[in-house]
Structure 1
Amino acid sequence: MQVSKRTWSLPLALLALAFLIGAIVVAQVVGNHLAASANGPYQGRLAGQRYKLLGHIAPAMKRYTPMHASNGQQEMRLAVSLNLRNQAQLDALLAAQNNPQSTLYHHYLTSQDFMRRFAPTQEDVERVTAYLRSNGLQIVDVSTNRQIINVRGSMDNVEKAFSVSISDYNIDGRVAYAPLNDPSVPADMAGMISNVAGLESVARYHHYAQLQPNPKKPRQGPQGGFTPTDLRTAYDVNPLLQAGNNGTNQTVALFELDGYTPTDVNTYLQQYDLGAPRYSNVLVDGATNTAGQGAIEVELDMEVVSAIAPGANQKIYIGPNSNAGVIDTYNKIVTDNTAKVVSISWGLCETSSGNSMLDSLSNIFKQGAAQGQAFFAASGDSGAYDCNDNQLAVDSPASDPNVVGVGGTALQVDANGAYQSESVWSNPNSQGRGPKGVGGGGGISNHFTRPAYQNGVQKNANRTVPDVSADADPNTGYSVFVTGQWGVVGGTSAAAPLWAGITTDINQSLQGQNKPTLGNAHTALYSLFTAQQTLPPYHDITTGNNLHYPATQGYDLASGMGTPDAGNIAQDLANGETGGGGGGGTGGTTTTQLLNNGNFEKGQTGWQESSAAGFQLIDGTRVHGGSASGYFCGYNNCDDQLSQTITLPGNAKSMTLSFWLSGATGENGSCNDTLTAQISDTRGQVITKVATSCNANSDWQQVSGDVSKALLPFKGQQVQVVWKSQGNASAPSAFFIDDAAFTVSS
């Protein structure tokens, strides 16, 4: 499709201007956009030669001012992420894998199956690599799942290849570089690339281990802290261990960005009689097992997993602490697919990551989920203020819908180590993390929408964390041997490996009974919460707060569903009392969202578009959320269309199309320009019209329509979801849609 600038002829522009006088919305959106299309931030997207890759500028960078151009001769290492294929079908598969009524329930894919069905094509890989080589960049390797192309080359060549300008910044006393604009690629590569990790050196992922030199409740460790026996007693792990379910023949992957000292871990194992070492290293992107400042985290993770699942094999994945290193390390865990449980204690607040980085990570976690891998990630130690400032924020990757976010509590036990109570961990007087204090992370994602398993559990439109919690207060911390000495450590980075160890023991128990394991964990854990169980699976945390959100009865944004009773969880799952796979306690109903890239953050991915004037219809002129939306018309005699083909499930019971709509117009009130949302068959014949909107100056409002009656005869078939806009020659109007969803209950 030819892409050209969206401009008006002079007479029509003057006519439109007369109508626009006094209309602030139109002046801001339509008028300013026309000027911007010539020389503003959208010029690259509309100029015909380049396709802009949106979402690479982290919102947190707005706080900083570029100093000067970076040294173009320095070498850069990039991880270029390619978009998955058939994402709507992948989402449907994930829903079916977690639905006990589906024939695909717990039928997980191998890495080879996933690549065959959803990986980028070899043709896309060859097109992208050829382009990168033509710009002087060297291809280091291509990941086995074809999602990641690792590249290195000079900054000058990177800037040329992606049409970016990279400048140095002073990041709180540290000099780092970052792009001034989103990258772009030739228009014929539109939809192939989702993210280019490594264009900046700002990101530094944090670990959440906190050493407490003088714990208030010392417990039994050599320097205080909870021992393996204490943890097993408090969280009811002993019934599993006594039955021989200690992680034998199971593998846990530990995601790490630093090395460790093996003798430290071995000292811990010997002290607590946990058996011979069962760990091995997987080094990524040239990383080495050299203990640095983050060694305390790596050793904590290994020791806590050993305390709970001493028979499990541990794979320690160590990668560089950079966006490219993080992408490659997670992808290695997923493509190896040897560990069905993954512990993550490193993270970054969402606003320090660009949307494209979050989406590329999410593609990796989706593959892991489809393979039956469960990811447990620390939710952060800055309470509800994960960016360590005064703004509410949550941590990535805990906020990803395919990762279990683990919050923090303060655990109280009696003299015999038996569980007494817990409260949410927070301390506003300790400002080592940020001005608000420290505490278990939790809150509302600013990027991911609410997943199906949280339907009926929380009412926010977006994903919330944590999902679950465990002890994290350094004052009630864990006995560990780290960096050559005994000590007591807390933080949600201790709670995450504890949950990983518990899940490993439970999986072994369920396998021994020929029962389904937790798989990718979310649906199983939430189903235990939403359906009445014979044995209570969680300790409900009802006191304390995480510096903003209070603990309440039931689910809350400070502690999630609560902390584990491992023995009860294992028995409830073995008894099959999980209430179905859809979440929300709906008696087996599963809710699935079928549109791929409905928030348009991945550009044209998933969409077919046409424009009478040859315009690209997805850009960032006006957005409801994120950095992109669908933009229709804005020129006279317009005729624009966006569509996507979806497959309706054969067991669909109800179907709804929803989207957010905004408009701007130069018309004087008559309905001359329209936008229609409709469903068509594969031949283009209209099945039903959902809504028709006339030209108007309007802020964002949600439009929703129940299409069940019209579409039930088409169950199991493909249909097209279509937005079509048309206008006359009198005055131009613009329509914007965002956050579209086609929701099916079955």
Structure 2
Amino acid sequence: MRSLLPCAVILTAASFIFAAPSPRTSPYKVKESVFPPQDWKIHSPSPPEHNIELKIGLPQPNFHVLEKHLYEVSDPSHPRYGQHLSKAEVEAIVAPHPESLELVTEWLASHGLGEEDITRSPAKDWMTITVPVREAEKMLDTTYHVWKHTTTGESIIRTTSFSLPIHLHDHIDVIQPTTTFARLRSFKSTVHKVDKETGQVVAQSNTPIISASGISVDPSCNTTITVSCLKQLYNAKGITPSATTENSFGITGYLNQFANFQDLQSFYALEVPEAVNSSFRVISVAGGQNNQTLSEAGDEADLDIEFGFGITFPINGTFFTTAGSPPFIPDMNNPTDTNEPYTTWLDFVLAQEEIPLVITTSYGDGEQTVPKSFAIRVCAGFAQLGARGVSLTFSSGDGGVGDGDPDPTTQTCITNDGKNRTEFLPLFPASCPFVTAVGGTTHVPEVAANFSGGGFSNYFTRPSYQNAAVSAFLDNLPKGTFAGLFNRNGRAYPDVAAQADNFQVVAGGEVQLFGGTSAASPTFAGFVALLNDARLKAGLPSLGFLNPLLYSTAISAFNDITSGNAPGCGTEGFNATVGWDPVTGLGTPDVGKLIKLVRYL
């Protein structure tokens, strides 16, 4: 039985925070101001008639209560382990104070926006409006411009500062798009064509190789990764999940990355023959498409669905296709490319009663391109999913300690705080403490992939669940190593790792090899779905938020990766070493051991 506190009790403390009446009008004061990243430059004034979709985040005065519940239901040593909250319970906890709702609604009405113009989230903690840029500039006492990315030519409408009436500052956490300059990118770094007949890049030795789990692995796995290779490597061979309606696995898709059914069937014929003729559900978010013209097949999307659904077959699979991708066309009046697509997806999925129990995402960007206020609110949304029993995995990036760009010639390691310091740049959402970040390995025996992203957040402090593991790493780091280049007190990532190179994929009708932590995240997530299968068969709930389990009871069921490093920012980056490290995290999973463990938690 859940020990969820009554909502009336939860909200009582918050009422004292807002006891003093607020004036209905007040002068404007700057709410948020940022320095734009170095690779974004002003291109032109924003078209005044361009429609922009503004998302207004109201404070969640009881988020600390949700966080407490999240850690209790995710900690295997706690009596409430696995007692996830319902959608309604989560929404009751994160709801804003009534005064915030009243004042912000009143402010919108003063700009001619009635209830019919406002879309409210189920918890009423987000309000969304669509207005012309000229009206947004008036409401926020700011000026928008079209900004262009110097490398890619992408364009967005943003401002570097906005203001609000003083009496609203405590009642609005964030308004976007205003100061966010993130470029949602997939972390797929390498592409090679492969012989269609053999599926191999080079001739193979016939000598068996031994994985970290002590299992003999087909020698071909040293140059070409297949679903069979991953199951051999991670002690999951012979584990067959059930085709029940209870278990579910989800994959997010962005930037017009379309998951091709024909490619999936070809992949199944090549690697998972028992799955031929099976398929997956497609859910469109905000008008997202999934075009099936073979020439439009997305290599990232195909990589994700082929290995994600290939590992988890016959578990119910869902592909979320979310609208929004560059280039932005400045003379259009549609609200296109104004928000980061993953926040659009998050809004959508939080509103659903039924959500896949495991969801993998292979996208992200530099943490500093997302204002801290916005990153905190997005991360809080991930915490809501975790509290409801959903496991979220994110790729850790492909730029080592850099900004996620695998190309050292374009990699940015300069802060955008106005000081232009050289610094290791963490990635978001991988740096959020409420998700599981997945780094990359390669070869057998496994070593760290030299592109595996990792580091320490500048926004989020280190969560208690990883204190022991990360402190041990820092204590053993030679004194003065990378001094001043990273935040020793920040949330450290990745949490875990998996193979991330030479994945044999069918994309656009061709067999190719892909690499990047884009491959590692769906791989690890797929095995989490197998763990959920074992728990559901035993009458237990889903695992939900994974990290407290991974850093405690489950730590012995990981293969520690102790070789390799991931350079970046003109350095050799961190090394993989004994114990947790910011290249491969706790290591790679031994699924057989993990299944035995989670069956009895």
> Could you state the TM-score of these two structures normalised by the residue count of structure 1?
0.62
Displacement after TM superposition at 1:470 (Å):
0.7
1:502 to 513, 527, 552: 527
Q: Which moved more, 1:444-453 or 1:189-198?
A: 189-198
In the other structure, the counterpart of 1:335 is 351
SS in 1 for 2:470: coil
Is the 2:55–2:126 contact (alpha carbons within 8 Å) kept by the matching residues of 1? yes
In the other structure, the counterpart of 1:226 is 225
In the other structure, the counterpart of 1:155 is 133
- C-alpha distance in structure 2 between counterparts of 1:377 and 1:101, whole Å: 25
Displacement after TM superposition at 1:411 (Å):
2.6
In the other structure, the counterpart of 2:361 is 344
In the other structure, the counterpart of 2:491 is 463
Q: How does 1:14-163 map to 2 (within 5 A)?
A: 48-50=26-28, 52-54=30-32, 57=34, 59-61=35-37, 64=40, 66-100=42-76, 102-121=78-97, 124-125=100-101, 127-135=103-111, 139=117, 141-163=119-141
- C-alpha distance in structure 2 between counterparts of 1:153 and 1:218, whole Å: 60
Is the 2:66–2:94 contact (alpha carbons within 8 Å) kept by the matching residues of 1? yes
Do the aligned partners of residues 367 and 201 (structure 1) sit closer, same or farther apart at CA in structure 2, a change above 3 Å counting?
closer
Do the aligned partners of residues 280 and 133 (structure 1) sit closer, same or farther apart at CA in structure 2, a change above 3 Å counting?
farther
In the other structure, the counterpart of 2:170 is 191
2:383 to 366, 386, 395: 366
Do the aligned partners of residues 265 and 554 (structure 1) sit closer, same or farther apart at CA in structure 2, a change above 3 Å counting?
same
Q: How does 1:330-479 map to 2 (within 5 A)?
A: 330-336=346-352, 337-387=354-404, 388-390=411-413, 391-412=423-444, 421-426=445-450, 439-459=451-471, 460-473=488-501, 477-479=502-504
- C-alpha distance in structure 1 between counterparts of 2:560 and 2:453, whole Å: 17
Larger radius of gyration: 1
SS in 2 for 1:523: helix
In the other structure, the counterpart of 1:541 is 561
- C-alpha distance in structure 2 between counterparts of 1:162 and 1:94, whole Å: 35
Displacement after TM superposition at 1:140 (Å):
5.9
Letter in 2 for 1:405: A
Say whether 1:305 aligns with 2:308. yes
- C-alpha distance in structure 1 between counterparts of 2:174 and 2:490, whole Å: 22
- C-alpha distance in structure 2 between counterparts of 1:447 and 1:287, whole Å: 31
Letter in 2 for 1:502: F
In the other structure, the counterpart of 2:161 is 182
Letter in 2 for 1:410: T
Displacement after TM superposition at 1:263 (Å):
1.8
Displacement after TM superposition at 1:549 (Å):
0.5
Q: Which moved more, 1:290-299 or 1:541-550?
A: 290-299
Q: Which has the higher contact order (CA 8 A, sep 6+)?
A: 2
Q: Which moved more, 1:497-506 or 1:270-279?
A: 270-279
Which structure features the higher share of strand residues? 1
Displacement after TM superposition at 1:517 (Å):
3.8
**Structure 2 alignment gaps of length 5 or more:** 1-24, 195-199, 205-217, 326-336, 405-410, 414-422, 472-487, 568-572
Is the 2:180–2:369 contact (alpha carbons within 8 Å) kept by the matching residues of 1? no
In the other structure, the counterpart of 1:279 is 280
Is the 1:237–1:308 contact (alpha carbons within 8 Å) kept by the matching residues of 2? no
1:253 to 250, 254, 257: 250
Do the aligned partners of residues 358 and 172 (structure 1) sit closer, same or farther apart at CA in structure 2, a change above 3 Å counting?
same
Q: Percent identity?
A: 24
In the other structure, the counterpart of 1:211 is 191
SS in 2 for 1:316: strand
Do the aligned partners of residues 508 and 555 (structure 1) sit closer, same or farther apart at CA in structure 2, a change above 3 Å counting?
same
1:316 to 319, 324, 333: 319
Is the 1:267–1:481 contact (alpha carbons within 8 Å) kept by the matching residues of 2? yes
Which whole-Å deviations, capped at 9, do the CAs of 1:285-338 have from their partners, x for residues lacking one?
222223797811111111111221111222222222453432120222233242
- C-alpha distance in structure 2 between counterparts of 1:446 and 1:216, whole Å: 41
SS in 1 for 2:283: strand
Letter in 1 for 2:492: T
Length, aligned pairs only: 497
Do the aligned partners of residues 67 and 511 (structure 1) sit closer, same or farther apart at CA in structure 2, a change above 3 Å counting?
closer
Displacement after TM superposition at 1:120 (Å):
2.6
SS in 2 for 1:456: helix
RMSD across aligned C-alpha pairs, in angstroms?
A: 2.8
- C-alpha distance in structure 2 between counterparts of 1:515 and 1:217, whole Å: 45
Do the aligned partners of residues 113 and 278 (structure 1) sit closer, same or farther apart at CA in structure 2, a change above 3 Å counting?
farther
Letter in 1 for 2:343: I
Is the 1:305–1:501 contact (alpha carbons within 8 Å) kept by the matching residues of 2? yes
1:559 to 571, 581, 584: 584
Which whole-Å deviations, capped at 9, do the CAs of 1:669-728 have from their partners, x for residues lacking one?
xxxxxxxxxxxxxxxxxxxxxxxxxxxxxxxxxxxxxxxxxxxxxxxxxxxxxxxxxxxx
Displacement after TM superposition at 1:121 (Å):
5.0
1:513 to 538, 545, 549: 538
- C-alpha distance in structure 2 between counterparts of 1:481 and 1:68, whole Å: 42
- C-alpha distance in structure 2 between counterparts of 1:283 and 1:546, whole Å: 36
SS in 1 for 2:492: strand
- C-alpha distance in structure 2 between counterparts of 1:104 and 1:82, whole Å: 30
Is the 2:193–2:511 contact (alpha carbons within 8 Å) kept by the matching residues of 1? no
SS in 2 for 1:269: helix
SS in 1 for 2:117: strand
Displacement after TM superposition at 1:512 (Å):
1.4
Q: How does 1:635-714 map to 2 (within 5 A)?
A: none
Is the 1:306–1:501 contact (alpha carbons within 8 Å) kept by the matching residues of 2? yes
In the other structure, the counterpart of 1:595 is none
SS in 2 for 1:376: strand
- C-alpha distance in structure 2 between counterparts of 1:175 and 1:560, whole Å: 33
Do the aligned partners of residues 149 and 537 (structure 1) sit closer, same or farther apart at CA in structure 2, a change above 3 Å counting?
same
Letter in 2 for 1:227: T
Is the 2:554–2:597 contact (alpha carbons within 8 Å) kept by the matching residues of 1? no
Displacement after TM superposition at 1:238 (Å):
1.8
Say whether 1:523 aligns with 2:499. no
- C-alpha distance in structure 2 between counterparts of 1:350 and 1:381, whole Å: 14
Displacement after TM superposition at 1:186 (Å):
2.6
Do the aligned partners of residues 160 and 213 (structure 1) sit closer, same or farther apart at CA in structure 2, a change above 3 Å counting?
same
- C-alpha distance in structure 2 between counterparts of 1:331 and 1:217, whole Å: 46
SS in 2 for 1:240: coil
